[in-house]
Amino acid sequence: MSHIKFDDSKVKKFVHDNEVPEMQAMVDAANTELREGTGAGADFRGWINLPTDYNKAEFARIKKAAEKIRKDSDVLVVIGIGGSYLGAKMAIDFLNGSYYNSKPKENRRGVQVVFAGNSLSASYLNELEEFLGDRDFSVNVISKSGTTTEPSIAFRIFKDKLIKKYGKDANQRIYATTDAKRGALRKEADANGYESFIIPDDVGGRYSVLTPVGLLPIAATGADLDQLMQGAADAAKDYVSSDLEKNDAYRYAALRNILYRKGYVTELVENYEPNLRMFSEWWKQLMGESEGKDQKGIYPSSANFTTDLHSLGQYIQEGLRNLFETVVKVQNPPYNVEIPMDKENLDGLNYLKGQSMNEVNDKAYEGVVLAHNDGGVPVMTVEIPDESEYSLGYLIYFFEVAVAISGYLNGINPFNQPGVEAYKKNMFALLGKPGFEELGKKLNKELHE
């Protein structure tokens, strides 16, 4: 039985009874492409069996490195961008709450974790350095090549800070997650004796949260990596059938493709718990990079409820009818608060006395689903029982396998991202990088015409 409850009852008025069964043959074909490696991008399917076929010796080293970081550091600076950042940040917020870094040391399971190299903002970097202050810290630099602009700049800065603070011992505080054999970071790690971990060749960045890319930062917070991987492993077993009556991840993929072909071209992933905001950011990269190709693909967006009901709610209710919603709902959040009695009752809320905030939040969810459905918005719900490591691993795999099938259903390669390189070439040329001089002249002319 699936650990996730998938509710598609609020798409029935938008999808006819015959349409899902008629997708079965296409789903069978997509499943064959995925499982047998006959589809495009077959070399990047390592995530499929990753929850069980990972390197156990390296996994043990990750736990040991995390333990060392927790002992000798107050802060871990994680340097990476895209999939080298979003998965770890998402998991840390999911498992530890929105204010993890603000909690006193005795109320945290591990070190504070901050992220650098995910923008080119000097102001952000300055704020991060002020946050760090003179406290003990370590660095986890994550890059397949070691030459990506944003993380490479940040690594230069924090490596210099480590050397100034720790001298010859600085290298013992640098952990490199990179390619096994190639690239600038691999060369530097080998030359300087950084402890290093491998980014698998057959796992793309957006699928990499359950590799050392995500596992070391997550472990530094004291999370249970065994349960995280177990959740993903169980999901891998539960979502192997191509039968749409038995596989909810595939059913979700089929339904979103049916809706897409009817003009629902934007998908809002939504939550009712603020510590799931970064889950939405991780999901957006997973979906956007996997499906946005060849002038096709569902546009992935997000909303955080009930907060955004007071800003985006009007548009969702009555705006252009080209969107559908997927709610990630937590059945049993880790905390609850009872609403107290107020003698004056000036706010008129005494009718809620004795009820819990979680009960109110649930009723808000139910009311929103009904209202948006009546307003012409299809809604699907992916419900997990709790915010445990097991549930997170399971949820990660649900969406990974769903988007792989969804991509093949739409006739694209769900594992490459050719469009990501376009802006980089222009940026390199405008910055005067060797080898891009002619393009730089052309672009400067276009900018100043």
Instruction: Give the Cα separation of 280 and 268 in Å (integer).
Output: 9
Neighbours of 41 (CB within 10 A): 19
* Contact present, 111 and 70 (Cβ < 8 Å): yes
**CATH topology agreement for domains 5-39+229-410 and 49-223:** yes
Active-site entry in 296, 424, 425, 441: 424
Instruction: Give the Cα separation of 271 and 307 in Å (integer).
Output: 10
Report DSSP state, residue 298. Answer: P
Active-site entry in 150, 267, 289, 387: 289
* Contact present, 231 and 81 (Cβ < 8 Å): no
pLDDT in tens, 247-262: 999 999 999 999 999 9
Residue 359, amino acid: E
Mean pLDDT computed over every residue of the chain: 94
pLDDT in tens, 376-418: 999 999 999 999 999 999 999 999 999 999 999 999 999 988 8
Whether the CA torsion 156, 158, 162, 165 is positive or negative: it is positive
Fold of domain 5-39+229-410: Rossmann fold (3.40.50)
pLDDT in tens, 132-152: 999 999 999 999 988 888 999
- Strand ranges for 368-423 from DSSP E: 379-384
Q: What is the pTM of this model?
A: 0.94
What would the two tokens of residue 70 be? 């927790």
The CATH H-level superfamily of 49-223 is Glucose-6-phosphate isomerase like protein; domain 1 (3.40.50.10490)
Whole-number pLDDT of residue 190: 96
**Average of pLDDT values for 286-293?**
95
pLDDT in tens, 356-372: 999 999 999 999 999 99
Position 442 confidence tier, pLDDT thresholds 50, 70, 90: confident
Q: What Å distances lie between residue 164 and 128, 134, 167, CA to CA? A: 17, 11, 6
Q: In terms of Cα–Cα distance, which of 207, 244, 224, 213 is closest to 403?
A: 207
The answer, yes or no, to whether residue 421 has pLDDT greater than 70, is no
**Residues facing 382 on adjacent strands:** 6, 328
**Average of pLDDT values for 30-44?**
96
Each domain of the chain, given as residue ranges in start order, spans: 5-39+229-410, 49-223, 418-448
Whole-number pLDDT of residue 426: 77
H helices present in 9-74, as ranges: 19-36, 50-53, 56-72
Lowest model confidence (mean pLDDT) among 29-33, 300-304, 346-350: 346-350
Active site residue 424: yes
Q: In terms of Cα–Cα distance, which of 383, 395, 376 is closest to 238?
A: 395
Instruction: Give the Cα separation of 177 and 170 in Å (integer).
Output: 17
Active site residue 129: no
pLDDT in tens, 200-212: 999 999 999 999 9
- Strand ranges for 224-342 from DSSP E: 266-271, 299-304, 323-330
Q: 144 phi and psi, to 5 degrees?
A: -65, -45
